[in-house]
Amino acid sequence: MDKKQESKIKMARLVSGILAGNEEKIKKIPGLEAAHIKLDQLIENAEKYGQGQLDKGTVQTAQKDDAREILIIEVIKICAALAAFGTSSTDASAKLFKAKYQIKDTVIKRLRDMQLFSFAYQVYSDALPYADKLEPFATSDEVNGLKLKANIFNELLPKRRSQLNASVLSTQNLAETIDSIDELLINTIDVLIKPMEFKDVDLFSSFKNARGLVDAPHRKNKKPEVPSKESTNTEVK
């Protein structure tokens, strides 16, 4: 939420407060009570979207990053176990693991999220048939744990993306809601209140002051005029 949007919501709250404080008078002006109810709903929506805009998936990102680090360690452990098992085994199929999984740790750490998840499942699939034969390099619990950690990591990936999408949507909804507040004030509430300038000066004055608040943060002090050289050189007659 930018400063202009914050200012407009603050102004709308003040306008709503003025209307609420003059409830009996407002009820006598056709259409104004309904407009006030609509204004309050728009203010509530704007505040909700403002909160949604702030949540950009920071918590989900931290959870995902933690799960990624845990998964990387598990993948490295099982890869090392498979490479060692392939080196020591007499099984022809298992011997292939030496070349396949003798991988530098940095290669695994550089894998993108979905690549890491897919690779973890590949490692698990290769290790599972030999899970009870990998000791002392790895235990069957560690092999099964690799699948579990891969699934946890995978579940966190869409949560972060979903939250980012929700934040973007909240930003769009906030802008639209601010526009709706402007439209309601300009085209309905301002018009209905205008006659009170002559019939209820106090109500109109309070309303006008509240409406003027939105421009306050954006006004710039007018710079004093600098006399021109021509004017300063002119002799006073």
Q: Which pLDDT belongs to residue 179?
A: 92
* pTM (predicted TM-score): 0.49
> What is each CA distance from 220 to 188, 208, 211, in whole angstroms?
29, 20, 18
Structure tokens at 81: 């176990």
- Determine contact, residues 127/82, Cβ cutoff 8 Å: yes
111-122 mean pLDDT:
93
Q: Which residue has the tokens 């680090």?
A: 69
pLDDT-based confidence at residue 55 (cuts at 50, 70, 90): low
Q: Are 43 and 12 in contact (CB under 8 A)?
A: yes
Q: What is the pLDDT of residue 115?
A: 92
pLDDT at 49 (0 to 100): 81
Q: 68 with 116: CB under 8 angstroms?
A: yes
- Looking at per-residue pLDDT, the higher value among 188 and 4 belongs to 188
Copy the structure tokens of residue 156: 């966190």
Cβ neighbours of 207 (radius 10 Å): 22
- Cα separation, 84 vs 113, in Å, equals 26
The answer to whether residue 51 scores a pLDDT higher than 70 is yes
Among the ranges given (12-26, 94-108, 157-171), the one the predictor scored with the smallest mean pLDDT: 157-171
Rounded-to-integer distance, Cα 163 and Cα 171, Å: 12
Q: Say how far apart CA 64 and CA 168 lie, in whole Å.
A: 20
What pLDDT score does 57 carry? 54
pLDDT tens, position by position, 13-49 = 999 999 999 999 999 999 999 999 999 999 998 888 8
SS3 102: coil
- Nearest Cα to Cα of residue 122 among 135, 114, 141: 114
Nearest to 81 by CA among 102, 111, 109, 67: 102
Extract the tokens encoding 117.
């998840």
pLDDT digits (tens, 9 = 90+) for 168-214: 677 788 889 999 999 999 999 999 999 999 999 999 999 999 998 65
* CA–CA dist 118, 150 (Å, integer): 9
pLDDT tier at 164, thresholds 50, 70, 90:
low
**Are the C-beta atoms of residues 192 and 29 closer than 8 Å to each other?**
yes
What are the C-alpha distances in Å from 180 to residues 75, 206, 213, 227? 53, 22, 18, 45
Mean pLDDT of 132-157: 92
pLDDT score of 212: 85
* pLDDT-derived band at 216, boundaries 50, 70, 90: very low
Q: Which two tokens stand for residue 60?
A: 């989900």
Q: What is the mean pLDDT of residues 120-125?
A: 94
